[in-house]
Amino acid sequence: MSRRVRRPFDRAALAAAGLVVAVVLCSAGVADAQETTTTAPAATAVGGTVKVEGKALEGVRIVVTDTANRTVGEVRTDSEGVWTVPVPRAGAYRITLDTKTLPAGVRLRDPDRRRLEVQVQGGRTRFVLFGLTRGDGGGDGSGTSVPGTGAGSGTGGARAGGLSLGDRLARAAVNGLLFGLIIAVTAIGLSLIFGTTGLVNFAHGELVAFGAVAAWFLNVRGLHIGPLAGPRLQLVLAALVAVALGGALGAGLDRGIWRPLRRRRTGRFQMMVISIGLSIAARQGLLIWFGSGSPKYRDYGLQRAWRFGPVAITPRDLAVIAISVVVLVGVAVMLRSTRLGKAMRAVADNPDLASSSGINVPRVILLVWVLGGALAAGGGVLQGSATSVNYLMGFNLLLLMFAGVILGGLGTAYGAMAGSIVVGLATELSAVFIKPELKTVAALAVLIGVLLVRPQGLLGSRERVA
């Protein structure tokens, strides 16, 4: 009887995975953000966007030199404030903003950060941001966006163009809350999967990137099926479709890979190694499908920041915070009040006891994968909205997701939420006092410090090992 009930779910999972594969194959022939074919080698370059208060600045001169002070190239920003300079090879380069070309009333928040030195990797574009403000000291420059967008973040460093320490801490706290909530949305699925199956899934970051990339294609390119070209979807609709595709992909991964391995009683260490290989393969697949660029979504790109005292935040970022809070509260209510949530918690506590009490454990695990894939894809869209879309964005977030899950307590969804927010705040607040490139180290230092005092994590429970 249980097998007869389970088959429709298995077939649905396989059909959903087939739908995801079809969408990927149909979009694989679409050019990437630089209007080049996906088979062409990726360019090595530096680039960025020059904005102040969400408004793009056109005609700003950018000069790129090597370490020997030889000019590699110079460019002026276009009508959207975007600039890109190809460089001949990987290595260190200096990027200088010509302040004489800034519009009247616009200046650097920190005059000493007119020239930035960055490391560029081969085949990738290194994005550089200059923190700008209005002449009266107000306004939010391009450096107040979510971290991870490149060098020159305006919230980092010991100085911030005359702002007081309290103002800088307030701005960093808002950025940290935004970043932490995004990490929390992506990390819940990672925690639930570990809690119900014991799998440390290193491929979870690629589910995040998949959601962002799928939404970008639907929003910017539209879905192409042979000679037919579908309409470009508004970002909200594209995000909903991407979330559904992420859930379908999660179901397909469980039904096609992880359930057969569990039936063969494959060890957890071996499954972790398999997830690492799957992560590498999926990352390269995203590179072929999407390319190495870091474009933005078509909607909500240029917005004027709203000012709340020393803090300036765009309506888009406020919407991201609100959506993240709603999602986290919804997941918490589901786990606490619904039959599915109680079944998930029962399976996480003791799968054998849950099975003997009548719970269909394989079905619950399948639904956990659906939920985890959907949340990861949704978190990817939120991160892509706040910054930009890149095939490495999930991989770059993976370490912080693990930090949030471990800090909150392994296997607990509530702990993943709390730990991720702490990690986000620690990352951004530390950038007020140290170089922005080192802020991830500060977050990991907080993780180590908390675990030394409370080894089970913030919301974890003590367990007797021996």
Which has the closest alpha carbon to 235: 370, 332, 43, 378? 378
pLDDT attached to residue 262:
92
Residues 6+ apart with CB under 8 A from 368: 189, 192, 193, 196, 197, 344, 347
Given the candidates 3.30.365.10, 2.60.40.10, 2.60.40.60, 1.20.1340.10, the CATH classification of the domain at 45-144 is: 2.60.40.10
Mean pLDDT per 10-residue interval, the chain, length 466 residues: 43 47 42 35 74 83 88 87 85 88 85 83 77 60 37 37 74 91 93 91 95 92 66 90 95 94 92 95 92 84 77 89 95 92 90 89 94 95 91 91 87 85 90 80 84 79 50
| CB-count exposure of residue 263 (10 Å: 0-12, 13-18, 19+) | exposed
How far is residue 414 CA from its own chain's centroid? 20
Measured between alpha carbons, how far is residue 275 from residues 12, 252, 306, 385 in Å? 23, 14, 43, 27
Q: Are 179 and 144 in contact (CB under 8 A)?
A: no
Helix, strand or coil for residue 153?
coil
Helix, strand or coil for residue 76?
strand
pLDDT attached to residue 106:
87
The residues that bridge with 56 in the sheet, in sequence order, are 51
Order across the sheet with 71-76: list the strands.
Answer: 71-76, 61-66, 91-97, 115-120
pLDDT attached to residue 42:
45
Q: Are 253 and 369 in contact (CB under 8 A)?
A: yes
Q: How many residues in the chain?
A: 466
pLDDT attached to residue 159:
39
Which has the closest alpha carbon to 384: 371, 397, 401, 369? 397
Q: Are 310 and 171 in contact (CB under 8 A)?
A: yes
Q: Are 210 and 196 in contact (CB under 8 A)?
A: no
Q: Are 444 and 403 in contact (CB under 8 A)?
A: yes
Measured between alpha carbons, how far is residue 144 from residues 133, 147, 173, 176, 431 in Å? 11, 8, 11, 11, 12
Q: Write down the domain spans for the chain.
A: 2-30+176-453, 45-144
The residues that bridge with 229 in the sheet, in sequence order, are 224
E-assigned strand segments in 285-430: 306-308, 311-313
pLDDT attached to residue 3:
41
Please spell the DSSP secondary structure of 338-360, one letter per residue. Answer: SHHHHHHHHHHH-HHHHHHTT--
Which has the closest alpha carbon to 197: 343, 13, 348? 348
Please spell the DSSP secondary structure of 229-254, one letter per residue. Answer: EPPPPPHHHHHHHHHHHHHHHHHHHI
Q: Are 389 and 149 in contact (CB under 8 A)?
A: no
**How many angstroms separate the CA atoms of 174 and 429, rounded?**
9
pLDDT attached to residue 256:
93
Give the helix/strand (H/E) hosting 92: strand 91-97
Q: Is the pTM of this model over 0.85?
A: no
pLDDT attached to residue 231:
77
Residue 151 DSSP class = B
Residues 6+ apart with CB under 8 A from 232: 218, 219, 220, 221, 222, 298
